[in-house]
């Protein structure tokens, strides 16, 4: 396995990747908590070299079944310096969010956090089946805390500012939502330091 994982690897994978993806896409464990019903959204093939771990699908992604198929995805692709064809090439890029299904709307604004049982259930079963991974983009605090554990900072800002500590296996990013536009303005170092390093690494990988 290319990147270090926060869970033990099985001696032998439980199932081939295609079977594991099929099982994940059929998951309805949290159906009673999902306002739009279960529709797990994830993708990738065994040869993928890049893993993107985001938060959970939004409503447009839920509707289309295509991860990052929204304005946040456009910004993420711009950060990475890739076009849609490259981004959605499953032989190169795997996408497994912390929550596979749309979790619902937070009354305070934005979406609810991922259902907490989802990542511990599916990430240990899925991610080891991508043996060629060389880099994981950890998009947002949920992914950063899960994959970095105690190495993560007290905030997304602190974790992202310390991005060099996690190279070459992980690169933490803020969520590319429009809600973080003010954060980007307050933290110009992100565009000046992190994005050039991100794009250089992506060019080398993909």
Whether 144 maps to a domain, the answer reads yes
- The CATH number of whichever domain residue 156 belongs to comes to 3.40.470.10
Number of domains forming the structure of the chain: 1
Q: What is the pTM of this model?
A: 0.95
Specify whether the CB–CB gap between 74 and 117 falls below 8 A. Answer: no
- Token pair 């007290």 is found at 154
Instruction: Encode pLDDT of 81-125 as tens digits.
Output: 999 999 999 999 999 999 999 999 988 888 999 999 999 999 999
Specify whether the CB–CB gap between 132 and 2 falls below 8 A. Answer: yes
pLDDT at position 141 over 60: yes
The percent of residues above 90 in pLDDT, for the chain, comes to 90
Range of the domain at 172: 31-101+111-205
107 or 137: which carries more pLDDT confidence? Answer: 137
Distance from C-alpha of 82 to C-alpha of 88, rounded to nearest angstrom: 10
- Token pair 């060099």 is found at 164
Distance from C-alpha of 19 to C-alpha of 22, rounded to nearest angstrom: 5
For the chain, give the number of residues.
Answer: 206
Angle between helix 17-25 and 118-126 (nearest 10):
160
Mean pLDDT of 8-37: 86
């Amino acid at each position: 396995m290319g990147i270090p994982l926060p869970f033990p690897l099985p001696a032998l994978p439980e199932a081939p990747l295609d079977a594991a993806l099929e099982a994940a896409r059929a998951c309805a464990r949290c159906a009673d908590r999902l306002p739009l019903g279960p529709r797990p959204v994830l993708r990738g093939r065994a040869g993928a070299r890049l893993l993107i771990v985001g938060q959970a699908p939004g409503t447009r992604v839920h509707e289309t079944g295509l991860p990052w198929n929204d304005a946040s995805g456009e910004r993420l692709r711009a950060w990475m310096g890739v076009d849609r064809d490259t981004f959605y090439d499953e032989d190169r890029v795997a996408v497994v969010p912390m929550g596979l299904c749309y979790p619902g709307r937070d009354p305070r604004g934005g979406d609810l956090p991922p259902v907490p049982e989802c990542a511990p259930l599916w990430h240990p079963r899925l991610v080891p089946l991508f043996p060629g991974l060389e880099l994981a983009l950890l998009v947002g605090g949920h992914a950063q805390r899960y994959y970095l554990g105690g190495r993560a900072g007290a905030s997304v800002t602190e974790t992202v500012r310390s991005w060099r500590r996690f190279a070459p296996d992980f690169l933490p990013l803020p969520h590319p939502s429009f809600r973080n536009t003010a954060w980007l303005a307050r933290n110009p170092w992100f565009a000046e330091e992190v994005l050039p390093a991100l794009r250089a690494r992506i060019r080398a990988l993909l």
